[in-house]
Chain A
Amino acid sequence: MKYRQTGDGHPAPLSPQVFQILVSLVREPRHGYAVIQDIRERTNNEIHLTASTLYDALARLVDKNWIEEIDGPDDAAPAGGARRYYQLTAGGRKAAQLEADRLERLLRTVRGTSLATRKRS
C-alpha cells in the first residue's frame, strides 16, 4: 500500500472522474459535452459528470498542464461562439498511463483470491 502514501515520490492516485477525463482525451481532442457523453458511454452510465464538475476538473488539469485548450474545427462552431476543445499533453498522457498501471497492479494483487470472481449482488 505504499503507493497510497503521498509525499514520498509516488503520485497520488487520481480520482475516477479525472482519470476518465484523461482517458476520454487519449484518442482525440474533444469539447466539454463530448467528454461527458464519452465517459457516460464508456462507464455504462456509472460516471455521469455534470457541467460544473467537469469544468472544475478541466480547469485543474489545465493548471497542472496535463491538458491544453485548443481551437476546435471550423465546422464545429454552433451559435453562441466557438466551443473550446481540449487535448492531452505529454504530461497528461503520462499521468493517465501511471494511473492505469497503478490500477493494473492493484487488480493483480487481487487475482487468485475469491474477490476476483466475486459477483456483484
Chain B
Amino acid sequence: MTWLHRMLLRLMPRGHRARYGADISRVFAEQRASASFAGRISLWVKEVAAILIVAIRERWPRRDRAHGSVVGGGWAADAGSVLRQLRRSPGHIVTTILCLGVGIAATLSVYSLLNTLLFGPLPGIDDRSSVSRVFIRAMVSAEPGGPGGRSSGGPIYMNAVRPQYFDFLRAHGPAIASVAGHIDQTFPVRVGDEVINASGAFVSGDYFKTLGTQPVAGRLLTSGDEERQTPAAVVGERFWRLHLGGSPDALGRVVTIAGHDLRIVGVAPSGFPGTDISNLSEGWTPLELWLPLSLARGWPGMKDEAFVGVAVRHAAGATRAQVEKDLAVSLAQMEAAGPYKDLAPMATPLGHGIQDTADIAAGLAMLLAGPLALLAIGCANVANLQLARSLERTRELSVRLSLGATRGRIVRLLAFESALIAIGAVGAAWLGTHVLLRYVSGLFPLPVQTDWRVLGVAAVLALVACLVSGVAPAWRVASRLQLAGLKQTPQSGARPHTRLRHTLVAVQVALSLTLLVVSALLGRTFLRMAELIPAHASEVLLATVNLQQSQLDEPASKRLAEQLIDRMGADPRVRAVAVSSNADIFAREEWRYQNVGDTPEVRQFARVQRVSPDYFNAVGALAIAGRTLTAADAGTAAIVVNAELARLLEADGRPAVGRMLTLKRLVVQRGQVDIPPVDAQIVGVVPNGFQRPDRPDPDRDIYIPLGATLPFEFTMYLRADDAAALGAPLRQALSSLEPRGASLESTTVLDRLRRESSPIRYMGLAAGGLGVVALLLAMAGLYAVVAYVVSLRTREIGVRMAIGASRADIARLVVRQAARLVMVGALAGLAITLPLTYALRSLFIGISPFDPLAFIPMMLALVVVSALASFVPARRAASIDPVSAIRAD
C-alpha cells in the first residue's frame, strides 16, 4: 500500500514533495505499523483528505494568505474547507448521495430504456425518425352488440388496408419518398427433413427501400421482383445462419414453400424487426422470410381479406403533417371507391402505436411517473437532511460570520458544498445505471444507451434540490446570526423550518404510499391472473398443426386429424385427445347468434369453434347443464355453449339448454362457400374455457361438432399427467402420417397462459422495487427528522422528566409527533393515490382500483416502518438524563 501513498503524494506541489515526501512516507508507515486495523482505515481516510487539502491549497494559492481560512479566500480555500467539512460527516454525505442517486438512477434507467425503444436506432432500419407507420382512423356509427361487445360508435383505428386500396396509397404525393406494404404470414419451410415455421411477410417492392435496409449478403427485394412476379425470397440473418449454414453459397438456392419454388436472393440483417417493433420482444420469433407481395394473392390458405400494413418514408425535409396531408389525398380516393367514411390518416413514428389507447397511455404514464416520484422523494429527503444539517452547523456559521466572513461568502461556501454533493450523487447514479443497464441489456432486444439528456435533467434537478435546501436555510440562519451573534444555538432559537421539514416528510410518505399501492395493485393483478389459470392447465398439451406445406384439402386435413387422434389415443399415457378448428387456443371464428324467431336487431356475437367429441374431456370441461357433445352429434345441429353465454341467454328467464339459436358465420375464408344461417339446438352448458389471463371477462363461446372438414391449420389437445412429454411422440406420429411435411408447435396450456401474463408480472416487479426503495427512503427521512426534533427538544424533555414525566411518556411524546407526520402524509398519499389508481385502472385487470387488499396492507406497512423509524430516536429521548438536559445550553 506504500505505493498508493506515494502516488497520492504526487498530487502535492513538487517543492513540498521533494523536501518532505520521504519524511511523510516514513512517518505514515510508522503510524500504520502502530495502529489497529480500524485505526489504519481511519488513518488512510484522514491522510488522503489531508493530501488533497494540501494539494489544492498549494497548487491554487489564496490571494490573501493573511486571512484565516474561516474568513475568506478563493475557490481553492472553499474546496479545502468543504473537503474538511465533508470528511467530518461521512454519514451525511453517503446518505445524501444514496437518496439522490437512487432516484436519478431509476429515472435515468427507465427513460433510457424507453428512449431506446421509442426513438433509438433499430437494426436494419436507416434513420428511424423519417419512417412512419400509417394508421387510419375511421368513424363508425353505433351498432348494438358489435364485434367484441362494442356497442357504441366512435373512432376505430385500422393498421392495414385491403390490397386493392393499397394501390391508392402507393400513388403518393411529394412529401412521401416511398411506400411499403406488408402482409404478415407464417411460412412452413422444409429444411432437410424438418418443416420449420418461419415468421415473415409478403412485402411490396419498395418495402426494404422504405425502411432503408441494407442486405447482409446478396440483394433485397425490389419493385422489379413484384412486377415480374419473380419467385424470389429474402431470408433473415438467423435463418441463414441456422438453416443454411451461413454461407454465401446458400444464395441462389431454391426452397419450396407451400408448393412454390422460391430462389433465395439475399439475407436481411440480424434482428431486423420490420415495421413492428413488437417483433423484437421476448418470446416472439424474429422475422425470417420475405416474399414479394404479388405472391400473396392465390397463396394457399391466404384469406381474401388479408390486409396490407403500410409504412412510408418521408421525403427529405417533409414533416409528419405534410406526410399526413399527402396520405389524406389517397384516403379520399379510398372513400370514393369503398364503403368507408370519414377516414383520417395518422403517420406515427415506428414503434409508437396508436397513442390514444388508454392502457398504453396508462402503462407509459406509470413507467414515467414511478421513477420521477422516487427522484422527488430523494430530493425531499436531501432537502430535509440539508436543513437539519444547516441548523447543526449554526455554530460553525456563526464563528465564520464573527470572524468577518460575509453572508455572500458563506452562501458561496455552502453552494459549493451542495454542488459537490449533487455531483457525487450524479456520478453514483451514472455508475449504478451503467451496471443496471448492463444487466438489463441481456433481457432487452435493443442495445440500450444511457440517455444523456435525461442525465442532464436529473442532474439539474438534483443540483437545484441540493442548492436550494443547502443554501436557503443558511442564508436565513446567517441573517439572524449577524444580529444575534455567537450565542445563538439550535436549542435556544426558534425551530426554524419546522413546517417546511414536516411538509417534506409528509410528501415523502405520500409518494411512497402511492408507489407502494400501485405496486400492490399490480401484484394483486398478477396473482389474480395466476388464479385464472386452472390447475389442470399443465396437464393439457396444446399443439398447433399446420398442413399448409402439404397442400391438403379440408377433408384430407380432417382425415389426417382423425388418424392422429387414433395414433395418439393408443399411447397409454394419453387420457384424452381431441382436435378443434381454431389455429390457436385464443383464435376463434366470430359468429352471429340470435334466438330463433327474434328480429335481426337483437343479434349478438359469439366465438365458435368446431371440436371433436373428446374435446371436453381433453380440456377438462364437464357439462354443468345438459350434456357435452358425443360422436353421435357429428353432422347434427347440436351445440354446446359456455356458462357465460348461457348466463346471457337465460336473462329472459328460459333455460339455455333446449333452446334453438340461429347461427351465421361472419368471416369467410378463401375456399369456403358462404354458408347460410343455420338453426341449432343447445344440448349442454360447459364451464368457461381457458381464458386469456389479461381478459377477466369471459368470452361467449359456442362449440359445434366437427363436420367432415377441418382447416389446414388446427389445434390438438392432449390430456396426460406429463403433457409436455407428449410433444415428441406427437411430432413423430405427424411426420410418419404426413411425410411431405407438416409443421407442429406444441406447448402446455400452462406455458401458453403464462406467456400472456408476463408483461404485467415485469411491471409489477418493477413497481414493487420502486415502492420498496421509496419506503426505505421515506423511513430514512422520517428518522432524520424525528432524531433532529428530539435533539432540539432535549431541554424540554429534561424539564418534562424533572417534573415527573416517565420514560414511557417521553417515548410516547416523540412517537406521537412522528405518527402525526405519517398520518398527514398517508392522508395526502390517499388523496393522490385514489384518483391515480382510478386513472390507471386499465392496468389492474380484474382488480378494483380501490382494492382494500392492496391499500390496507400497504398503509399498515407504512405504519410499521414509521414506527421503526421513530422508535430509535424515541428511545434516545427517553434515556435523556434530565439534569444534564436542563443544564445544556
Tell me the A residues contacting B by CB distance below 8 Å: 1, 4-7, 12-13, 32-33, 36, 48, 50-56, 58-59, 80-81, 83-84, 114-115, 118-119, 121
Contact = CB atoms under 8 A, between A and B. Distances in A.
B884 A121 contact: yes
Interface string B1-38: 00000000100100010011011111110110000000
B884 A119 contact: yes
Contact of B24 (A4, A52, A118): A52
Given A13-B68, A115-B889, 18 more contacts: A5-B404, A6-B67, A6-B68, A6-B71, A12-B66, A32-B23, A32-B26, A33-B26, A50-B31, A50-B47, A51-B47, A52-B28, A52-B54, A55-B23, A55-B24, A81-B22, A84-B23, A118-B887
A52 B404 CA distance: 29
Contact of A53 (B50, B68, B881, B884): B50
B31 A51 contact: yes
Contacts of A6: 66-68, 71, 404
A52 B11 CA distance: 12
Contacts of B54: 52-53, 56
Nearest to A62: B19
* Interface class of chain B by DSSP: helix
Contacts of B46: 48, 50, 53
A1 B25 CA distance: 41
A53 to B, nearest CB: 4
Contacts of B431: none
Given A53-B50, A121-B888, A59 B19 contact: yes
B27 A36 contact: yes
A50 B68 contact: no
A119 B887 contact: yes
Given A6-B67, A12-B68, A50-B50, A58 B20 contact: yes
A51 B28 contact: yes
B25 A51 contact: yes
Interface in B832-889: 881, 884, 887-889
A85 B83 CA distance: 31
10 contacts: A5-B404, A6-B66, A7-B66, A50-B31, A50-B46, A51-B31, A51-B47, A52-B9, A52-B50, A114-B887
Contact of A33 (B16, B31, B402, B881): B31
B257 interface: no
Contacts of A33: 26-27, 30-31
A6 B71 CA distance: 10
A5 B28 CA distance: 36
Interface core residue of A52, A53, A83 (most chain B CB under 10 Å): A52
Contact residues on B (Cβ < 8 Å of other chain), bracket? 20 to 34
B26 A80 contact: yes
B403 interface: yes
Contacts of A54: 24, 27
Contact of B27 (A7, A12, A32): A32
B311 to A, nearest CB: 66
Contacts of B19: 59
B43 interface: yes
A81 to B, nearest CB: 7
Interface of B: 9, 12, 16, 19-20, 22-28, 30-31, 43, 46-47, 50-51, 54, 66-68, 71, 402-404, 881, 884, 887-889
Given A4-B402, A81-B22, A121-B888, A52 B66 contact: no
B404 to A, nearest CB: 7
Contacts of A59: 16, 19-20
Contact of A56 (B30, B50, B884): B50
Contacts of A48: 46
A102 B470 CA distance: 34
Contacts of A84: 23
Contact of A50 (B43, B402, B881): B43
Contacts of B67: 6
A32 B31 CA distance: 11
Contacts of B887: 114, 118-119
A115 to B, nearest CB: 7
Nearest to A118: B887
Nearest to B52: A52
A78 B448 CA distance: 60
A54 B30 CA distance: 14
A34 to B, nearest CB: 10
Nearest to B65: A60
Contacts of A32: 23, 26-27
A53 B24 CA distance: 9
A7 B50 CA distance: 28
Contacts of B26: 32-33, 80
A117 to B, nearest CB: 9
B522 to A, nearest CB: 50
A121 B889 CA distance: 12
Contacts of A118: 887, 889
Contacts of B881: 121
Contacts of A4: 402-403
Nearest to B27: A51
B31 A36 contact: yes
B68 to A, nearest CB: 5
